[in-house]
Structure 1
Amino acid sequence: MSRQVLVTLMATSTIAAAPVAASAAEQQAAVEEIVVTAQRREESLQEVPISVSAVTGNALERAGVTETRQLTQSMPSVVFSRANGAFQPYIRGVGTRNANIGDESSVSVYVDGIYQPSMNSLGFDLVNISRVEVLRGPQGTLFGRNATGGLVNIITPDPEPTFSGRAVLRAGNFGEYSAGIYLTGPIVDGLAWDINYQRYGDDGYLKDLVRGGRAGARETEAFRGKLLFQPNDTFRAVVAASVFDVSDQSLSNQPVNGNTIANTFIPIPVYGREPWETGLENLLLASARTKSLSLQTRYAFSAATLETSSSLQKGESHSRTDNDASSRVIQNSETFQENAYISNEVRLLSTSEGPFSWILGGYQFSGRGEFRPLISYTNGVRGVPVYTRQDVDSLAAFGEGTYRLGDHVKLIAGIRYTKEDREYSSRNTTTVLVPLQKGSQDKITYRFVAQYAFNEDTNVYASYSRGFKSGVFNGFATTLPAARMTRPETLDSIELGVKSDPLPWLRVNGSVFWYDYTDIQQSARDPNLSLVVLFNAAKSKTKGAEIEVTTQPLDGLSVRGYATYLDATYQSFPGAQIFQPRTPTTANPCRAGIAFCGNNTNSNYDASGKDMLRSPKFTAGMSFDYSRETELGVFAIAGNVFYSAKYYWDFENRLANPAYTMVNGEVSWAQSSDEKALRLSIWARNLGNEVVYSQILTSAQGDVGAFERPRSYGVGLSKRF
């Protein structure tokens, strides 16, 4: 689908949804007011001077979005990709390419306001979600933990004082199945509980050229439980515990364009030349277990509210990679990771009715990430195991004030100070970890906003903000200077936005933005062992524009469309590392008919002016949900269309993810309009069977890539009670 066709489709669907002469019933339809916590308070989406999108869990489910990396298909400016076992969200071209132990994402992910530090734990199923909020742009004050690019906040329901629940069953092709149950209810007056459990599995969607049959199976198991204690109107406390297990072989890869060093070996095995094929001796794996325990409290005083949040998170993961994507063991690696982090935050929020409101707070974060160990294999020979560890201790204080000048003008100023200490230890020939290097850094970040409301329905805002991501050590290195600490990366943003509800059934939000991004933390590959090298790139300039339109022209029909233009380029990047394909020569022949034989060892390259990684110049999406009640029950149809222009996976812009259009849909029937009615559905994802890479990695051994899911379809059954 071309860009022009998709934009036309979005525009005409919005116009067509507006009735020329609405009936009395149709005139009652209105866009639902959405409450978000983007400024640490519950506020209307339209009053918050931030580029934020919020989508309910039901809407995501009907749009075919069932796990975090599928958020790409439903949110403006989001690209949720991965690097082996690490999941890497990008917003407006800003994200973390590294998959290092102890490193954290430049796009912060929160669950119920609790920070999720490990990138290996970000690829989870969206189980029984209330809504997902995506804040675009640096969050340097209220959500300041490394949120250079923005943040994703996944919000789950709290326990209810009356008993209720929901059960869901789904089945589809490739052996896919999922079963989930959610229960909530009271224990005694003022004390309620809930539990949520889901299990998912499939047989894989890859054709296995070595063993036959299908490969790439994925299995997950998720448990979440909460206790809500609310004895009165002034105090509440929520204790939450969760466990998430995943075992995923869907990243089993193949050479991109046939480029692998295995082509120099005769005879040549079959590697896979068509999408969704793999020919590996050992299937790749990304398995992880994440456990979390948190406590959140809120106490309301007469003029302020005191809020606290504390969490303990532990995780372990195991991954297998194959840098040449062949059935021969040429350059492989295996990692075992462990991490443990604690965080504590306290916030004091004013509640007076005066023109001035404020938030003051403090944040503490500490923990460690470890390779236990990392093992490389070269031509089948096991290398020396590497053990490394990165410890972090961080303290921050922040505050933000809002002053209202009459009914039209609102001014906001916020500041945050962060002090962080890191220590890096390693061993390979010794039996104990040896401290190798320490580093400290501090930073002041801020936000200034001016907002003007023309009336109750339309306002404009201008903001200037700064975010930063702390420097980290290279967790793959055991000696200096390779293990040196990177400099913090800093992003300054200017944004102009408008939020408008011009008609009860129409909402239009838009923004334009400019980024100045310096000391960008990047990763590359060691040409010998293909392990990660960590460094700071120079700087980039980014500009773009976004628009998001929501309509509900009549009862039963809602339409949401969005589009993003992004011009994200490296302004100065003279020392970029690239790998370029080797062609057959007399001295180094390849199999007949093969164009490439792996890559040359890395070379320095001036990437100034090149597109930033994973930054499509244009994306657009449209979703709709229509239901109609009849004597036979309620029939509904929902769909989601997402278009992305091509984007790149390397600094040279040689390896591209081609432009693609993703279409998901669902048709359903319910016994009645009662929310507790039995509901049956037929669903489909990627109806056009588009080929989309979930990752492309390049090294001296070649270019290798893995794929997102092909066309999938199935049935679902759900019941509330």
Structure 2
Amino acid sequence: MLFVLLSSGAVAATAQTPPSSSPSPAAAPSPTSAQDIGDIVVTAQRRSERLRDVPISITALTQDRLIQSGINNMVDIQRVTPGVQLPFYGGFLQPAIRGISSAGAGLGDSSNVAVYVDGIYQPSQSGQLLDLPDVQSVEILKGPQGTLYGQNAAGGAITINTVTPRFDLAGRMSASYGNYDDIALRGYITGPIVDEKIAVSIAGAYENRDGYNHDILRGGRDRGLTSHLIRGRILFKPTETLSLIVGAYSSKRSDGGIYAGQPVGPGTALGYALADAYGIPIALTMRPHQFALNVLPITEIKTSGVNLIGKLELDLGTINSTTALSRVHVHDVADVDYTAANLGIVNDLTLKNRNFIQELNFTSRKLGRMTVSAGLFYLALTERGVPGDFTGYFAGGPLFVYPNFGTPTLYIHQFSRNRKRSYAAYAEVGYDITDSLSLTVGGRYSYETQKTADNHSVLFGPDVGNVLLPDPRGKIAFKRFTPRATLRYALNPSSNVYASYSQGFKSGYVNSGDAPFPPYVKPVQPEKVYAYEVGYKGRLATGLNLNIAAFYYDYKDLQVYTYSPPVEFYRNAASARIKGIDGDLTWEAVQGLTFTVGAAYLDAHYTKFLNAVAYLPNAGGFGFDVTAIDASGNRLPRAPKLSGNASVRFQKSTEIGQFGAYVGGNYNSGISYDAANTVRQGRYALLDAELSFSPSAIKGLRLVAWGKNLTNRNYLSSVLESQFVLGGSYGDPRTYGVRAEFAF
């Protein structure tokens, strides 16, 4: 099967006429005013529909809004989307939507917020950290999307659509310079090779900047960030009804700041306590954005892939197909005790992920009062640790502190592998009961197998090399049917109300470290979400648009993760309850002046979680004890009670050109990072702004002065907990600079 599904992400367009059953391959313009916001065409239900007609809570970000908001990578999306958090667990991105987020970082594990790029599922949590130089639009689908987007979309889905090759010449390029010697180049160009038959698009991004964090041992800063990406796509259109898009990409991201952290939680880091007990001077981090580590940390992520996207128009509808082969290579070096004492160092954590995806989808045209969508999905994934090297230095004495390392007392050289095969079939039927009332019902059956192998040498035992001992249990299977039903009523041509019931399913997990040693740990069972939602989408008045939804989730068998260096293990929590309300309001007060406000209220707690694993400060002040507690009633991690964003955009045209101003802010009432609510980030707000000028004399040129986190607020962006320390690192400080853009 060599056809590939045309992107199931959002394709931004202004709907002047009723949308067709499938997205157009040509890039469409973004809305030009707030009055048009509800008319953006999205494909959240695998067909082109106006945003206000889709009975799902969605935040749709057009290319213009992404550029104005300074969104350059995946993590920036949380700045403009209430109810969405994008923190890291160590170096692993863990998206959270409405309090549902992945807690793990193990071999072969997947996030329960599905990420799609051009219709291609991204199964690697590290591979989801993407630069966005050529993004046409982004859709954030809130709530379980288990029917159309799969078993690992229990919390929602983020779909990213890059620029599709066009038959007219177009492009956008930008060059930016900011503090921390930040140099960034981004852009794309697209145009025809053979008129109406072959078109091409090429995109690239490059960024190089100094580190944000101060090294108080060696002087200077962390290794900073170096990132580059290149992506090419070729559109073949041999007939009016058939189109093929061949794509390929390669990227590399080297970030010295993710693990350049410090002790951040309550209690005393074990390294500090031991140094004090031995009377050995040790460097202490006193302020955010400082680190004192035995090694210079680094996270390197390399991704590459090829894909083929196909679309065939028939009288009854459209057949779409996706074929993709991707690779992700992650390399980490980290000091897991977050101090200058030599306790534990991850010398080399190398993960290699290779996956193949095939999806076939049919979307009907309107068949009287009925529409039909159906599809098949297949994923073959292999992820390997090759190898994972952990060095432990302290076993009762003597203690060494940087720059003295001493002799290791523990050394683990581990190889492991997780092989995963996922199969699914799904279908959805929509029916217009009346001209105003419509019903949609659908379901997906998912079946997955996992097979693991592991081997390691400990305490300088014999080197096991690449010999892997398979789990004697063989393949372990997980399966589930996830239904969805939605009722929508059109109040008028520009306003709708809806009610929905859906189920979400995050597949179970087999930890490769469980084998080959009995007694075998029971595989972690799948997460299950039973979701109820009611909402309103519509135009309240000329230029005034409102989307709002209330929801209730019954959340079962949550998967929780514990890291006790060098061991990691998973288990299931019992249950949780999530309820809340979120929405956004856009108002074009007058021509050229637009206000946007979004907010989310979230009540997310464990209803029952006995024997939750927690890191509590040791009674003697020496590190942390791994303790079982009753976490029932505790707030879920990464689930702020209140979050929101607001922005104002002003544009004024004059004889010499157009002046523009943008101010945007986002607020978070605070989150915890663990079931015990031990490590918390308090409430914080971030403020971004830009001033721009587009001269009349040079069409397409835009000059910008920009700033992010202008109040220089310190907030945690990554946390890693263990018996050594509750450690973490901070998000970007105040950054500012200038940028030149040129679009044609």
TM-score with structure 1 length normalisation?
0.92
Matched, 1:40 2:46: yes
| Pairing 1:87-486 to 2, within 5 Å after superposition | 87-189=93-195, 190-251=197-258, 252-256=260-264, 259-263=268-272, 264-265=274-275, 266-333=279-346, 334-379=348-393, 380-381=408-409, 383-429=411-457, 430=464, 431-436=466-471, 437=473, 438-478=475-515, 479-481=517-519, 484-486=522-524
Whether the 8 Å CA contact 1:475–1:483 is kept in 2: the answer is no
Kindly, what percent of the aligned residue pairs are identical?
Answer: 32
Please say which of residues 142-151 and 574-583 is displaced more in the overlay: 574-583
| C-alpha contact (below 8 Å) 1:31/1:504 kept by paired residues | no
CA offsets per residue over residues 635-661 of structure 1, 9 Å max, x none?
101121100001101211121111000
CA contact (8 A) 1:518 1:538 kept: yes
> Could you report, residue by residue, the CA deviation over 1:178-235 in whole angstroms, capped at 9, with x for unpaired residues?
0123121111131000101111111111111011122240111011110011233311
Partner of residue 585, structure 2: 549
Between the aligned partners of 2:76 and 2:223, the Cα distance in structure 1 is: 18
Q: Which secondary structure state, in structure 2, belongs to the residue aligned with residue 73 of structure 1?
A: helix
Deviation at 1:627, TM superposition (A): 1.0
Whole-angstrom distance in 1 between the partners of 2:34 and 2:180: 40
Tell me if structure 2 keeps the 8 A contact 1:629–1:673. no
* Residues 1:492 and 2:501 aligned together: no
- Residue 673 of structure 1 and its aligned partner are, at CA, apart by 9.6
SS in 2 for 1:119: coil
| Alignment partner of 1:681 out of 704, 710, 719 | 704
In 1, Cα distance between equivalents of 2:98 and 2:281: 42
Whole-Å separation in 2 of the counterparts to 1:658 and 1:85? 22
Q: Does 1:696 align with 2:701?
A: no
Relative to structure 1, is the Cα distance of residues 342 and 481 closer, same or farther in structure 2, using a 3 angstrom cutoff?
Answer: farther
Per-residue CA deviation, residues 412-456 of structure 1 (Å, 9 max, x unaligned), is 000111111110111225442121142012110010011111111
The CA deviation string for residues 28-67 of structure 1, in whole angstroms up to 9 with x for no partner, is 9723321111001111100000001101233123213221
Amino acid corresponding to residue 434 of structure 1 in structure 2: L
In structure 1, distance between residues paired with 2:518 and 2:506: 23
Contact 1:323–1:530 (8 Å) recurs in 2: no
Match of 2:728 among 695, 705, 717: 705
Q: Which whole-Å CA distance do the structure 2 matches of 1:620 and 1:375 have between them?
A: 42
Q: Distance in 2 between matches of 1:673 and 1:412?
A: 52
State how far apart, in whole Å, the 2-side matches of 1:308 and 1:381 are.
Answer: 54
State the alpha-carbon separation in 2 of the partners of residues 677 and 75 from structure 1.
29
Which whole-Å CA distance do the structure 1 matches of 2:518 and 2:571 have between them? Answer: 13
1:381–1:230 Cα change, 3 Å = farther
- Contact in 2 for aligned 1:621/1:643 (Cα 8 Å): yes
Separation (CA, whole Å) in 2 of partners of 1:253 and 1:628: 44
Asked if the contact 1:340–1:368 (Cα under 8 Å) also holds between the matched residues in 2, the reply is: yes
Q: 1:663 aligns with which of 667, 677, 687?
A: 687
Please tell me the residue identity of whatever aligns with 2:491: F
Amino acid in structure 1 at the alignment position of 2:637? L
SS in 2 for 1:428: strand
| 1:55-93 Cα deviation digits (max 9, x unpaired) | 123312321322111211111210001122211100001
**Residue identity in the other structure for 1:422:** Q
- Supply the distance in 1 between the matched residues of 2:33 and 2:236 (Cα, whole angstroms): 38
Equivalent residue, structure 2, for 1:8 = none
Deviations 1:521-549 (A, max 9, x none): 110123xx343211111110110001210
Structure 2 residue identity aligned to 1:83: Y
CA distance in 1, matches of 2:91, 2:537: 38
| TM-superposition CA deviations, 1:135-159 (whole Å, max 9, x none) | 0000111111410000100111101
Is the 1:203–1:217 Cα contact (8 Å) retained in structure 2? yes
* Amino acid of the structure 2 residue aligned with 1:97: A
Looking at structure 2, the residues matched to 622 and 227 of structure 1 have their Cα atoms a distance apart, in angstroms, of: 38
Shift of 1:483: 5.4
Query: For structure 2, which runs of at least 5 residues remain unmatched after alignment?
Result: 1-31, 394-407, 458-463
Alpha-carbon spacing, 1:387–1:530, altered in 2? closer, same or farther (3 Å): closer
Aligned-residue offset at 1:481: 4.4
CA offsets 1:106-139 (integer angstroms, 9 cap, x no match)? 0000001110000011112121211110000001
Partner of 1:14: none
Q: CA deviation at 1:389?
A: 0.5
**Alpha carbons of 1:40 and 1:461: their partners in 2 closer, same or farther (altered >3 Å)?**
same
Partner-residue secondary structure (3-state), 2:311: strand
Secondary structure of 1:448's counterpart equals strand
Instruction: Give the secondary-structure state (helix, strand or coil) at the position aligned to 2:78.
Output: helix
Displacement of 1:477 in angstroms is: 4.3
Per the TM alignment, residue 669 of structure 1 is displaced from its structure 2 partner at its CA by: 0.7
The answer on whether the counterparts of 2:454 and 2:513 sit within 8 Å (CA) in structure 1 is no
Find the aligned partners of 1:28 and 1:109 in 2 and give their Cα distance: 28
Cα contact 2:584–2:598 (8 A) shared by 1? yes
Evaluate the alpha carbon distance shift between residue 717 and residue 605 of structure 1 in structure 2; reply closer, same or farther with a 3 A threshold: same
Calculate the TM-score normalised by the size of structure 2.
Answer: 0.89
Q: Is the 8 A contact 2:154 2:505 kept in 1?
A: yes
Secondary structure in 2 matching 1:240? strand
Q: Does 1:82 align with 2:110?
A: no
Matched residue SS, 2:617: coil
For the Cα contact (< 8 Å) 2:33–2:588, is it kept in 1?
no
Counterpart Cα distance in 2 of 1:65 and 1:461: 31
What is the alpha-carbon distance in structure 2 between the residues aligned to residue 475 and residue 274 of structure 1?
38
- Whole-Å Cα distance in 2 between the matches of residues 496 and 55 of structure 1? 22
Shift of the 583–165 alpha-carbon distance from structure 1 to 2, 3 Å rule, reads same
Separation (CA, whole Å) in 2 of partners of 1:443 and 1:509: 32
Contact 2:543 2:589 in 1 (8 A): yes
Structure 1 unmatched runs, 5+: 1-26, 585-595
CA distance in 2, matches of 1:331, 1:93: 32
Counterpart of 1:69 in 2: which secondary structure? helix
* SS of 2:440 mapped into structure 1: strand
1:637 aligns to 2:640 (yes or no): no
Worse-matched range after superposition: 75-84 or 610-619: 75-84
8 Å CA contact 1:691, 1:708 repeated in 2: yes
How far apart in 2 are the matches of 1:103 and 1:326?
A: 29
In structure 1, C-alpha distance between the alignment counterparts of 2:709 and 2:234, rounded to whole Å: 38
Contact residue 107 and residue 417 of structure 2 kept, 8 A: yes
8 Å CA contact 2:261, 2:291 repeated in 1? yes
